[in-house]
Structure 1
Amino acid sequence: MEINGLPLHALVVHAAVVFTPLAAIAGVLYAAVPTFRDWLRWPLVGLAAVALVSIWVAYFSGESVEEANPASYDPATLPERADLLETHESRAGVLRISVTVFALVTFAAAWLHTRTGPVRIGLSAGVGALAVLTAVYCVLTGDAGAKLAWDGVQG
């Protein structure tokens, strides 16, 4: 799919690399600073939802780009690009899972916000840990994707 002549993937990854780290930062703050939880829970839910949707749209649109340009990633003729693509795809697979679980735990934490004791501690810890994992894989996936997109380009 294209928008104004550009592949959707090239456009939607910008939302993914902006909103996913913002959601992760909000998740870490939610987990680490209890006084922020009341104020931060709904913005965190919104950011996690946007991150979730943008990551999944980036995944499906990336598959579309690969299918539309098979010669650009052929391991027989371009092994370096094929290796970069494999790295990008494997990291994106972990990112899709981590952002999905992060969003679900975030939604549960917001829904069960008034609970106390082990439920609140467990959900807060889950939000914080998954936020860090999601942020790390967002950076790793974006780095691999940028190397793939800009491979061989002179600046």
Structure 2
Amino acid sequence: MEIAGLPLHPLVVHAAVVLIPLSAGFAVVLGVLPRWRWLSRWPAAVLAVFATGLAFLAKQSGAALTQARPELEPLVAEHSARGDLLFWVTIPFAVLVVVAAWSLGGPSALASGRGAQGSRVPALERVLPVLLVLGAVAVLVLVVRVGDSGARAVWG
């Protein structure tokens, strides 16, 4: 696929490179800053789900690009494998962020304190923040590794 003569893959990849780390950042804020959960809860969930969609689209557009230009296959084999792994890691990460957004408690934005949300599953109150940080680190490391292998394939 092409848009205005450019392959779709580089266009989607640039969106993914911005939004996947942004979703990881919101997930960390959601996990470690309970005072900001009222603000970060749903943006984190939406970004994580959208980032998973972008990872899928990047994976599919990359496969279409290598299918259209088979001579690229040996150059992008490592990049393709890492991109596949990133997609598969973003799925549980998105599920984790959505579960955390739904279940973690936090104060309200109102000065009166009305609207504060208690934890829906108190047992997860200590586990989910740790998992969110670990998941965010994993996603960030994979984004860097995928991007590095892609840059080496194109420019190296």
Same fold (TM over 0.5): yes
Paired residue for 2:95? 104
Distance 1:142 1:5 in 2: 22
Distance 1:125 1:98 in 2: 17
Distance 2:125 2:89 in 1: 20
Deviates more, 1:110-119 or 1:29-38: 110-119
Look up the equivalent residue of 1:7 and give its one-letter code. Answer: P
1:110-150 CA-partner distances (Å, limit 9, x unpaired): 12233253222222222221111001101110111111122
Q: So what's the TM-score if we normalise by structure 2?
A: 0.84
Paired residue for 1:119? 124
Structure 1: tracts of 5 or more residues without a match: 74-81
Q: So what's the TM-score if we normalise by structure 1?
A: 0.84
Q: CA RMSD in A?
A: 1.5
Moved beyond 6 Å, runs of 4+: none
What percent identity do the matched residue pairs reach?
Answer: 37
Work out whether residues 52 and 99 of structure 1, in 8 Å CA contact, stay in contact via their aligned partners in 2.
Answer: yes
User: Which of 108, 128, 146 matches 1:141?
Assistant: 146
Structure 2: tracts of 5 or more residues without a match: 105-118
Work out whether residues 30 and 101 of structure 2, in 8 Å CA contact, stay in contact via their aligned partners in 1.
Answer: no
2:20 aligned with 1:11:
no
Distance 1:119 1:38 in 2: 18
Distance 2:2 2:154 in 1: 17
SS at match of 1:115: coil
Distance 2:72 2:122 in 1: 54
